Amino acid sequence: MAHGPFRVLDSDIHIIEPPDLWPRYIDPAFRDRAPVGLTEDEGDLRLAHNGKGWGRVAMDADRSRRRQGRNYALNQERWRPYAERGWTSKVQLEAMDIEGIDVAVVGYTLAPDVRLTDIGFRVPPALEPVREQVLSIVEQLEEFQVSAAKALGIDEEGVPFHVKKEVTSALRRLAPIGLSTDIVWTANARTLRHVIEMRTAEGAEEELRIVFDVIAQMMQAEAPGLFQDFAKDSEGSWVPEYRKV
């Protein structure tokens, strides 16, 4: 959905998980202690655990505290049809069209805390000669994050969710940039053509070149009518024959 010569990117859009996400998918042995999503309002992002709410406003708090702001009623009306349909991926794409968003980087809304020890790390080929030093630094950061979380008590029972989030967000400032991660990414065909060309160009970041090389191959296989004019050059860049499509 181009706006003149511009395309609109949302770099931090969020999906809304169904309220029964954790009870439905968690290991049966832990189902009795799984968090449950609350649904008092449309787009309610809170979780409850053992009958107690997580977040800045507890379950038994005055609900009016979450109903401040001039857009509350408007957003309730806007979100209701999507909530009734379960916030599916199709719903998300329709909402992007309504908002005029061409491409979005999607994050989870109701995700648990993640430590560096839970995430993989990729050593770039350019640093292979000093691989052991790189891994040593990353391992030190992993150990510090675990010990800092213990010292600050954020994993203890009863710690408010917003306190955990504040501390874990601060600890992420010390995380290396080369961490492995998983995202959901959506785009229309015109945006895909543009991003494939940009992110496989010789000057693009190495990890993005790898990812979008795979995406380019997928699109040629799945939608040849829209991507058949792309060719991979000797430098690994995907270049289209036609830019105005």
**Final residue of a domain: which of 63, 85, 108?**
108
Looking at the structure, tell me whether residues 193 and 230 fall in a common domain.
yes
Q: For 126-160, what is each residue's pLDDT tens digit?
A: 889 999 998 898 889 888 888 988 898 887 777 77
Total number of domains constituting the chain: 3
Residues 6+ apart with CB under 8 A from 133: none
Looking at the structure, tell me whether residues 209 and 231 fall in a common domain.
yes
Strands 103-108 and 9-15: parallel
Residues 6+ apart with CB under 8 A from 72: none
Residue-number span of the structural domain to which 55 is assigned: 9-108
Looking at the structure, tell me whether residues 167 and 210 fall in a common domain.
no
- Which of 134, 143, 116, 104 lies closest to 12 in space, CA to CA? 104
Query: What is the rounded distance in angstroms from the CA atom of residue 102 to the CA atom of residue 243?
Result: 17
Residue 180 resides in a domain: no
Residue 224 resides in a domain: yes
Indicate the pTM of the whole model: 0.46
Looking at the structure, tell me whether residues 50 and 132 fall in a common domain.
no
Judge whether residue 105 has pLDDT over 80: no
Give, in order, the Cα–Cα distances in Å from 117 to each of 69, 164, 180, 200: 39, 17, 11, 30
Query: What is the rounded distance in angstroms from the CA atom of residue 81 to the CA atom of residue 83?
Result: 6
Looking at the structure, tell me whether residues 85 and 65 fall in a common domain.
yes
Q: For 190-212, what is each residue's pLDDT tens digit?
A: 899 999 999 999 888 888 899 99
Residue 43 resides in a domain: yes
Q: Which tokens is 179 given? A: 């961490």
Looking at the structure, tell me whether residues 13 and 58 fall in a common domain.
yes
Residue 61 resides in a domain: yes
Residue 59 resides in a domain: yes
Residue 177 resides in a domain: no
Q: What CATH number does the domain containing 198 carry? A: 3.30.70.3180
- Which of 211, 189, 233 lies closest to 241 in space, CA to CA? 233
